[in-house]
Structure 1
Amino acid sequence: MKVLIVDDEPLARQRAARLLQELDGIEIIAEAANAEAALAEIEQHQPDALLLDIAMPGMSGIELARILAERESSPAIVFCTAYDEYAIAAFDAQAVGYLLKPIQREKLAAVFGRLSRLNKAQIAALAELEPPTQRRQLSSSGPQGISLLPVSAVRYFYADHKYVSAVHPDGELLIDDSLRELEQEFAAQFVRIHRNALVALAYVQGIERHGVAGYRVKLQGLADGPQISRRYLPAVRALLAKGM
């Protein structure tokens, strides 16, 4: 079984690697210090299983698991967690492999002896246990694999028919989220200016005329911002008056 170790703590990775090497049939094919690096390693090595830390800077282990769960074929996942006994019981009830830090040899051997694939229902159960946090990364699957974009780089989201794009200074990323979902999740960071557009408050520099009677938002890092509809123009002006 090919295993990828994903943990932001070097000592934790070293301990995990040492214990895994004592198990028969285990090959450690790579290590990753964060979820983003893990995605690259997964694409390159196609591991059978991940030993995955939950709490990491940037994308969490559960966020990574959500991305992998969308694939037709994904590695089995064993979570490393510091959750209390009640949360651990819930993990166990969902038949998801878990290990409490610091990892114990006997428990490591037992978990890897009963690995199962992580499905969407299990991901949903884990999400309820995870402290509610906003995503720091957006993801999109395409012919070239998974593309990631920091939410902090997004200037605005816009919807075009069934598709939503996240626009940033270097281009745009097509994502699966709806504008309504994005508006709810990032209510403190983005504001609606049109039925088909949300803008990042941190990058708004003002408004400017567009055409005969239209207006659009000026955004840092972009030559052209999205159009403001008449319905939302008073609210945008009010926000600007308050200094956003």
Structure 2
Amino acid sequence: MNQLRVLIADDEPLARERLQRMIEGIEGYQVVAEAATGSEVLTAVAGHTPDVVLLDIRMPGGDGLDVAESLATQTDPPAIIFCTAYDEYAIRAFEVQAAAYLLKPVRQQALADALGRAERLNRAQLQALRARPDESHHLSVTSARGTELVDMTQVRYCEADQKYVTLHHDKGETLTDLSLKALEQRFPDQLLRIHRNTLVGTRYVRALERLDDGTCQLRLTDLTDTLPVSRRHVARVRQRLREL
């Protein structure tokens, strides 16, 4: 039986050691790495590909919630179990799809139950990955309507409004809580930033136009309205147009 790979992330060495000892007493799990800061977590995940991350919330170098949001943008993210002394972050923790939220001092049975939930989540993820279309240009979005799979090659533009982003695509509109930065990093071939609040689908870019007042706007295929291009992004847009 394959063991699930676990990463322990906590800035306190004694807390990491305690979790390590508890996991050693739970069959089916193996600690493959430890991390003490948010940046170390991201590095360790990239290097060790854990199935589960036991994550503290208050850590130097990026708090656990920000780290979890970053990991959630990966193609096959690890399951997250928060282990923290603070109960006020529980709602946000589950907004980033945490498998469990454990309060310190963590008890072994509670940890075992949480790891079991994470294992079931990982199996469901694997089945979904096998069944879904080409992940390199698809985004799974969960909303009140259920789970929607968006083909990012059909997205004309993405527009940020406060904490949400609207994807305007061939089939209508889809709302996501992923940031423009996360979308831009995940789909660099499909999306191009033209403004701090806007990404456009590269396949729909038609022309860059300069207005009399010196500002620029972008014209997209099958879209009547033009989109403003900020001065800081004009050079990059021109370069990308030459590459298309």
Q: TM-score, normalised by structure 2?
A: 0.48
Q: TM-score, normalised by structure 1?
A: 0.48
